[in-house]
């Protein structure tokens, strides 16, 4: 139950509207919603973005129900319904997230001081716009000193990686594309051909051994509890929103099942404040997305008039690493959550990333063929390179590209750029030219597992405005360029007969990351971290973090699977509603405990994605849905 106006609503016993309010509907938020609903909690999920729907033709349903299950607890109670996904990235109102300009799309772009961040929006969070690539991390992640002494994290997380893989429908990419052939040859030339492998992806291609592009079938993952699905067309449109219902987005798995259990999802609403209530629990205020911040008296009054208020016994922050940090920092600065750890904002990670590309003059539709990411290789043990693609017509991000310019040395980078443009002026125009950019550009995503970080802080401006900024933090400097990535991309360009491209922001030594992490990390105490090993917030009982903000170290791989696995693990230790909590008190030393099985699992026990407590044998979903076209690629360090 929720309410508008100044007076909060009450439930039947007069205390709380909901047991758990979840801020955000991405990987962590969707896991939280399902697993706690299975344990009997009354859960409401609040999402700033809109609810989107694939094409009704793809789902075999009507436009009214294509975006949600018929048994859903609630949709958008403002009556807005679901919006169609963008046709491509040039459909700016449905692609970009700029609500103050009338754009309520799936792609956020945020300048965070010395890094530009790409992230997702909408019901389903980052899954709506991510590249559906689901790898386990490198060894450096488990061994990071921030948390290594607390537990054997490889052993602790292993069963939850397995559960996450089955829920997200992870299978090997079944098709070796033109880009894969190019990247394989580059890996061989660099002497690391044995590390090349086809990617693990969360996409439905069709029944086992029989790819079925465009064919709609009954639920293949959840024993009939899930939605009908349509086989992948390999059109490259994953990151502009899969309109064909092949991508395993969260609204087709975790969140779909959660709504069937009665979870309420409230879209188009931003949480503005979280305030402790006398005697326990929290008052949570939300307002329409893009509304004036509620950290000022005028803003709070406006939020009460235009927005909603809930009384929640517990609150789970899952708004993404940036969204969670933004809200927690605002609440600490406003004195509403004064006992948050001083480590809030520290150990913010960029996954040590660079986004590069190789651009040609002539369009080639082979470049757009495949899912968004189809393979990868390792130039060295810490560096991971993947080919990335957009579908035909998705050219909106072309202006972010520019002539590749190496960093380092005594000559300023911008001066190197000027010199390159003077020598070959057509290259600057070619790299950032939107004309058929997705058909001319083979993108390279470069990730590293090095220990480097940023410190995120909140800055205030006039009229109650505030924004996040960053500076260098613990470990080595956050890289402004990655030599191995530039080398690999130049080799790709040579094979295409094209030219290497970097990001325009790199001229100011501002890299781009698609995977911002950390800032509310796990630590042994409030002096070392923001949350404990059960992901409970130090200093404020009843608050939790279940998203990328709790990821402690750079992964060197795409982080969505790790965020999901960590959330699965955290929710596994919650008791069923009304039962005793097996976790030690907040602030007590960590001890390993057994997971608590839910009273009302959403997925039948015989289904591939059934919930199985840690330690029980499982059949990997990849074995059930592996395509006959899968090639024998090397396993590579990503599974080490």
223-272: per-residue pLDDT in tens?
999 999 999 999 999 999 999 999 999 999 999 999 999 999 999 999 99
Long-range contacts of 66-69 (CB under 8 A, 24+ apart): 67/123, 67/251, 68/251, 68/256, 68/259, 68/265, 69/227, 69/256, 69/259, 69/260
Q: Catalytic site residues?
A: 515
Which of 543, 617, 570, 630 has its CA nearest to residue 314? 543
Residue 352 near residue 517 (C-beta atoms within 8 A)? no
pLDDT band at 559 (very low <50, low <70, confident <90, very high): very high
Distance separating alpha carbons of residues 133 and 371, to the nearest angstrom: 9
pLDDT at 109: 97
Residue 4 predicted with pLDDT over 60: no
Closest listed residue to residue 567, CA positions, set 586, 590, 550, 584: 550
| Percent of the chain topping pLDDT 70 | 87
Which neighbouring-strand residues pair with 384? 447
Question: What are the sequence ranges of the domains in the chain?
Answer: 18-350+515-577+585-639, 354-452+460-513
Residue matched to tokens 């939107």 = 434
> Which pTM does this prediction carry?
0.91
Instruction: Select the more confidently predicted residue: 456 or 303.
Output: 456
Closest CA to 165 of 556, 593, 618, 615: 618
- Cβ(549)–Cβ(518) under 8 Å? yes
Q: Rounded to an integer, what distance in angstroms lies between the CA atom of residue 291 and that of residue 123?
A: 19
Percent of the chain with pLDDT over 90: 79
What is the C-alpha to C-alpha distance for residues 100 and 84, in angstroms, rounded to an integer?
A: 20
The C-alpha atoms of residue 381 and residue 400 are separated, in whole angstroms, by 29
User: Is residue 618's pLDDT more than 70?
Assistant: no
What is d(CA 528, CA 550) in angstroms, rounded to the nearest whole number? Answer: 13
Query: What is the band of 7 on the pLDDT scale with cuts at 50, 70, 90?
Result: very low
Contact 386, 488 (CB under 8 A): no
User: Three-state SS for 112?
Assistant: strand
Angle between helices 560-572 and 153-167 (to 10 degrees): 100
Question: pLDDT grade, residue 455 (50/70/90)?
Answer: very high
Count of Cβ atoms closer than 10 Å to residue 423 Cβ = 9
Q: Which two tokens stand for residue 172?
A: 């090997």
Q: What would the pLDDT profile of 265-304 be if each residue is shown by its tens digit?
A: 999 999 999 999 999 999 999 999 876 555 556 655 665 6
Q: Look at residue 13 in the predicted model and tell me its pLDDT.
A: 58
Measured CA to CA, the distance from residue 85 to residue 70 in angstroms comes to 20
Q: pLDDT value at position 530? A: 99
Query: How confident is residue 58, by pLDDT bands cut at 50, 70 and 90?
Result: low
Q: What is the CATH number of domain 18-350+515-577+585-639?
A: 3.50.50.60
Q: Which position has the token pair 């294509």? A: 66
**pLDDT for the residue numbered 640:** 33
Q: How far apart are CA 605 and CA 17, in angstroms?
A: 32
Sign of the torsion formed by the C-alpha atoms of 8, 14, 15 and 19: negative
Tokens coding 200: 């693990």
What is the rounded distance in angstroms from the CA atom of residue 637 to the CA atom of residue 93? 40
Dump strand ranges (E) for 332-463: 348-349, 354-359, 375-380, 383-388, 401-403, 441-448, 452-460
Tokens matching residue 453: 């970080």
């Amino acid at each position: 139950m929720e309410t508008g106006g100044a007076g909060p609503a009450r439930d039947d016993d007069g205390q709380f509207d909901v047991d758990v309010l979840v801020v955000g509907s991405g990987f962590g938020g969707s896991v939280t919603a399902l697993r706690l609903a299975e344990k009997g909690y009354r859960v409401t999920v609040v999402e700033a973005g809109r609810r989107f729907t694939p094409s009704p033709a793809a789902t075999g349903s009507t436009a009214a129900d294509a975006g949600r299950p018929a048994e859903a607890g609630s949709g958008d109670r403002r009556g807005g319904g679901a919006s169609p996904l963008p046709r491509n990235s040039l459909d700016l109102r449905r692609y970009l997230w700029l609500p103050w300009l009338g754009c309520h799309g799936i792609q956020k772009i945020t300048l965070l001081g010395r890094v530009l961040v790409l992230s997702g929006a909408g019901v389903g969070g980052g899954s709506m716009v991510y590249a559906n690539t689901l790898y386990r991390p490198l060894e450096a992640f488990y061994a990071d000193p921030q948390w290594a002494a607390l537990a054997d994290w490889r052993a602790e997380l292993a069963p939850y990686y397995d559960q996450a893989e089955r829920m997200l429908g992870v299978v090997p990419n079944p098709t070796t594309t033109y880009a894969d052939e190019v990247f394989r040859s580059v890996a061989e030339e660099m002497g690391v051909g044995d590390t090349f492998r086809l990617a693990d992806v969360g996409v439905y291609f069709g029944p086992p051994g029989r790819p079925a592009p465009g064919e709609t079938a009954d639920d293949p993952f959840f024993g009939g509890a899930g939605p009908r699905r349509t086989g992948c067309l390999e059109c490259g449109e994953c990151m502009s929103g899969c309109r064909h219902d092949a991508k395993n987005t969260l609204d087709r798995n975790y969140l779909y099942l959660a709504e069937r259990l009665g979870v309420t999802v409230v879209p188009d609403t931003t949480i503005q404040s979280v305030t402790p209530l006398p005697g326990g629990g929290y008052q949570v205020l939300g307002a329409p997305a893009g509304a004036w911040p509620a950290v000022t008296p005028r803003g709070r009054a406006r939020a009460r008039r235009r927005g909603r208020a809930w009384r929640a016994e517990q609150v789970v922050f899952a708004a993404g690493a940036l969204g969670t940090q933004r809200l927690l920092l605002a609440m600490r600065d406003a004195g509403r959550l004064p006992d948050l750890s001083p480590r809030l904002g520290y150990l913010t990670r960029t996954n040590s990333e660079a986004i590069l590309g190789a651009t040609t003059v002539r369009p080639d539709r082979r470049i757009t063929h495949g899912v968004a990411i189809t393979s990868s290789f390792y130039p060295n043990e810490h560096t991971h390179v993947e080919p990335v693609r957009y579908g035909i017509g998705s050219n909106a991000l072309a202006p972010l590209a520019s002539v590749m310019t190496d960093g380092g040395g005594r000559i300023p980078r911008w001066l190197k750029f000027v010199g390159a443009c003077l020598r070959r002026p057509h290259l600057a125009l070619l790299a950032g030219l939107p004309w058929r950019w997705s058909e001319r550009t083979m993108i390279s995503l470069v990730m590293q597992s090095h220990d480097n970080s940023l410190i995120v802080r909140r800055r205030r401006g006039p009229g109650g405005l505030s924004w996040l900024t960053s500076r260098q933090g613990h470990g080595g400097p956050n890289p402004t360029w990655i030599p191995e990535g530039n080398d690999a991309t130049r080799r790709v360009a040579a094979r295409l007969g094209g030219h290497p491209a970097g990001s325009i922001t790199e001229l100011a030594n501002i890299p781009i990351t698609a995977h911002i992490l950390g800032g509310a990390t796990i630590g042994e105490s409030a002096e070392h971290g923001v949350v404990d090993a059960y992901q409970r917030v130090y200093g404020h009982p009843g608050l939790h973090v279940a998203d990328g903000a709790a990821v402690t170290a750079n992964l060197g791989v795409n982080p969505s699977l790790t965020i999901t696995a960590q959330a699965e693990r955290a929710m596994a230790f919650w008791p069923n509603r009304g039962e005793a909590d097996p976790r030690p008190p907040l602030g007590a030393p960590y001890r390993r405990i057994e997971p608590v099985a839910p009273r009302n699992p959403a997925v039948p026990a015989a289904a591939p994605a059934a919930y199985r407590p840690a330690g029980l044998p499982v059949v990997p979903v990849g074995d059930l849905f592996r395509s006959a076209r899968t090639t024998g690629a090397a396993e590579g360090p990503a599974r080490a």
